Chains A and B, each alone.
Chain A
């Protein structure tokens, strides 16, 4: 047990069940909300807690809810379980180990937003998380927690599980909405924002799993309690997933403001094979990379990481050890973004492919100084100019890798081979 909100119980073969969730205080907050609070009061509590979206953008959850018109006849809630940001595996952890916590969070949010039909949009590849969620919903329905006239209060809410089909961009909220409408997951232009015109043109709130699953805790313990955890401007705990070259990769719940060095060197057991730290991608593959010295100095909150030129993103900490070829590592990412660009807008569709082709060429030893110059230039043509943030996500790694590990790129184009023998894995 290493955190109050999620990692507050022993993970066993039955800890995901309704009975055990109830035994650790599950659904008390929901029942209390139905009994004691108006929907507006629930929204006020979410806002007062200072909870920020955990999907990556970090928007204030309470504010997002507030944007929905109070008199809208139909409002939809979508839980974003399209966990796809490379490095990220927290939502999966919640679904596998405490799916009822998400169900309860969705029910509370649905009550606050007067939602009749809520959707759990889950990435199509997920297997166990899907089965755990479906099982949790069967249990919740049987217990009268989901469906018509919940617990005799007159509040009705159905939760529909909707499987995606392989598309990173569907984690973008308007893309998720289009996908849920049966279309290609092209992100929409804003305005209008989903809170005004979302699913089937109705006001829609899209929240991340971790965000929604935090809501029951906030109601049970009070927003002040939550606001008191971690840093003031971005309070609470976060599920930090540590991956890459560490001894003990895994999930750690820590208050915001936690030192990155401590997470890597203590919680995750330090660098694999006793090597030195080379770089850290602190918030999912899209966040700008930090050098070892930058990483050792930062704490895991928007302010500290922002100062270092990066972001908390999805809380996915990817650790890279000395001896790794940053050029090939970047090409792994550029290949991914080119594969996942939806094809809708020009800069992303053409730019992600172009960056990847140049990197492929460099990695094959065919790159030139002119290629490197072009590669440096392209992110400025993509970033900020696209329909959604995928363009930014694809650009930031390219810009930051070249900026911080420029010598490796220079070496590669000058000598036609890697400074580190192309090594990725130890």
Chain B
């Protein structure tokens, strides 16, 4: 059953609108982007920026498209002189006290104000007034810096903390042109979802302290990935330098640097939001790697490590596999194909760490591994039983807490160095999530895919290849 539709016309183009929808929403669905700063699909309608004013049914007064419910046979015009004039005025007003310091602003290149000014702004400023000065480079909280001069007071960030994250940590204080965005406790904006306001900000007012002055965004390209921080498995974009934009300076290698992580909007899983742990993925994934194969603590060639592991398994009376909840579905399938009747146990690479939000009602889940559901679907949810008498155990995944393996011999497949004293007999480095294509299945059973961000380092193998090799 499809809902009845309403016919409207936007710039001579007839389109179907849904009852209850606004003109801006209907137009967007049909690929007509009416400019907007304060409007956001997932926030309440503020209607304060006034850039989306459109002409309706030839009425003299323009209406904001963001707050205009569609009505049958409504005729909307966005290209007429009056609308263009209004946009010019709004942009002129916004830039009256805006510093226009795009040259030193991280937002340049992905700034709505910049884009709209180019598309709709007046060719020349008519202002000859000195600009009002406001607070600059203000630490809004530990992660975000605020430039009140660049702010256009669209209130997206404020609405986000009230309507989405629920912290109500931000507000707009004072009145009129003295108004400015402020944290509930100045300097202490520490909402677990705070970094969403950076991308929500349509201008360069809210910026990431981590990414501040690190790179021009037009040198970067995003790669679709999945956050490995918990079993929600939110979609993310990992930003790395374009190949043609690599730095060639002695002592620098930018080819394996992820500069930032942002949200990849995924209506099915995370919508347009991500928690701060997700925004920190580029830092988390940069933790110390394990690159050197080891046999009984001695560095060896990869082939030697594999041979030693095969020897151990061949002699094993009762082998077992601990299966990483960070492994991709494709890797799990590879294991399943070669496992035979060897028992497999769920291995949770990570448990919540001190100070971390364990679980909340928005995105964050208590299981801090992205593919528990993928493991469980294939191998069940058994946890390793020390009393079962396994003599050789393949431990696949990071070990972040002591494992009760007793006297069993270990074969450890891990992408990252372990902080624990390493008792494994054989250690084989494997690639991490960002070095291959694959998918995770989240706690709701939803599959989410990721693309390779970087090439795997030399000498490191994909776990699926290692597993296949061990089985032969």
Contacts and interface: CB of A to CB of B under 8 A. Distances in A.
Chains A and B in contact, CB within 8 Å: yes
Contacts of B96: 350, 354
Interface string B84-96: 0110111011101
Nearest to A391: B50
Residue from A191, A354, A368 with most neighbouring chain B CB atoms (10 Å): A354
Contacts of A339: 176
Contacts of A144: none
B153 interface: yes
Contact of A345 (B47, B62, B126, B128): B47
Given A341-B176, A349-B176, A371-B128, A381 B48 contact: no
Contact of B153 (A340, A349, A351): A349
Nearest to B130: A357
A242 interface: no
B441 to A, nearest CB: 41
Interface in B154-191: 172, 174-179
Contacts of B128: 368, 370-371, 374
A352 interface: yes
Interface in A105-152: none
Of the candidates A350, A353, A384, A386, the one having the most CB atoms from chain B within 10 angstroms of its own CB is: A350
Nearest to A377: B126
A380 B176 contact: no
B53 A385 contact: yes
A342 B47 contact: no
Interface string A335-348: 00011111111110
B47 A346 contact: no
B152 interface: yes
B86 A385 contact: yes
A352 B93 CA distance: 10
A341 B50 contact: no
Contacts of A351: 93
Given A344-B48, A345-B50, A385-B89, A350 B177 contact: yes
Contact of B176 (A352, A370, A377, A385): A352
Contacts of A340: 176
A38 interface: no
Interface in B366-422: none
Given A189-B47, A191-B67, A371-B128, A342 B175 contact: yes
Interface residues of A, number: 34
Contacts of B94: 346, 350
Contacts of A385: 50, 53, 62, 86, 89-90
A272 interface: no
Contact of A350 (B51, B85, B97): B97
Contact of B177 (A189, A343, A374): A343
Given A191-B69, A346-B94, A346-B152, A381 B175 contact: no
A212 interface: no
Contacts of A189: 45-47, 64, 67
Given A377-B126, A387-B47, A346 B93 contact: yes
A338 B178 CA distance: 10
- Which of A191, A339, A343, A380 has the most CB atoms of chain B within a 10 A radius of its CB? A343
B49 interface: yes
A380 B90 CA distance: 11
Contact of A338 (B49, B88, B176): B176
Contacts of A350: 93-94, 96-97, 177
A384 B129 contact: no
Contact of A346 (B48, B85, B126): B48
Interface in A296-350: 338-347, 349-350
A358 interface: yes
B133 interface: no
B85 A380 contact: yes
5 contacts: A343-B153, A345-B50, A374-B128, A382-B89, A384-B61
Interface of A: 167, 184, 189, 191, 338-347, 349-354, 357-358, 368, 370-371, 374, 377, 380-382, 384-387
Given A189-B45, A343-B177, A354-B129, 7 more contacts: A189-B67, A343-B172, A346-B48, A346-B49, A346-B51, A349-B177, A381-B85
Interface of B: 45-51, 53, 60-62, 64, 67, 69, 85-86, 88-90, 92-94, 96-97, 126-129, 152-153, 172, 174-179
Sorted nearest first, the 9 A-B pairs with minimum C-beta distance are: A381-B89, A343-B179, A350-B93, A189-B47, A353-B177, A341-B176, A343-B176, A189-B67, A345-B48
